[in-house]
Amino acid sequence: MARQLDEQIAGRFPVGQRLRVLDVGMGQGTQALRLARAGHQVTGVEKDATMLAAARESLAGEPEGIRERVRLVQGDGRDTGVHFLPGSFDVVLCHGVLMYVEEPDALLAGLGRMLAPGGLVSLLVRNADALAMRPGLSGDWATALDSFDTVSYTNRLGLDVRADRLAALTATLAGIGAPLQAWYGVRVFTDTAVDGAEIPADLESLLAAEERAGRTDPYRAVAALLHLCGVRG
């Protein structure tokens, strides 16, 4: 996904431009720190205090120049209007968040307002059109059959969450003034890997196969996750 995001940034902004990035639901700050290391000014928003503390700890280990480029805010992605002015950011990330939001339209509308003209919004969501893939490939036929007619599922943390369909999010992005420009699949081949699995010796080949599948039909349509990129008109 990082490679996909970098591709979209490189295709839409001049080389060397320091971008204003908002990472909503930043978790431990993996993407926020990666983009700060690349020279961008990053604001991370995270509601969970434990995750925010982990992000602060990671940031503390960075050189001063990188630390100065990162601002961390404890808050909910739905209250961005409280913290920031409209049009304040060139790039808005919302990765792995929508599955925890029962009604995401208001959140997405708020993120759209944060984008400057020409700004990029990057969403990472669970693919509701492929919910049957993981249980089916694991031989859990009952769950696979149930998954065809729902957008709800139980994640690996045991939480009941929801997935999104590409067609619905395409319409939503158009409605908030940031129509879909590109989309990718994420975890096409590796979604059934167990947590804590060892990194394979041929990691580069694995990543190359995943990256190719993530941009190629019909493979990307059955990926566990979808990466959608919209641009503010």
From first to last of its 233 residues, the chain has per-residue pLDDT tens of: 999 999 999 999 999 999 999 999 999 999 999 999 999 999 999 999 999 999 999 999 999 999 999 999 998 888 888 889 999 999 999 999 999 998 999 999 999 999 999 999 999 999 999 999 999 999 999 999 999 999 999 998 889 999 999 999 999 999 999 999 999 999 999 998 887 788 889 999 999 999 999 999 999 999 999 999 999 98
Burial class (CB in 10 A: 0-12, 13-18, 19+), 163: buried
pLDDT at position 78 is: 82
pLDDT at position 40 is: 97
Please spell the DSSP secondary structure of 78-138, one letter per residue.
GGHHHHS-TT-EEEEEEES-GGG-SSTHHHHHHHHHHEEEEEEEEEEEEBGGGTTHHHHHT
pLDDT at position 97 is: 96
pLDDT at position 9 is: 97
| CA 132/CA 153 separation, integer angstroms | 10
Angle at 35 (CA atoms; ends 70, 96), nearest 5 degrees: 95
pLDDT at position 76 is: 86
Q: Which residues of 124-144 are buried (b: 16+ CB within 10 A; e: fewer)?
A: bbbbbbbbbbbbbeeeeeebb
pTM for the model stands at: 0.94
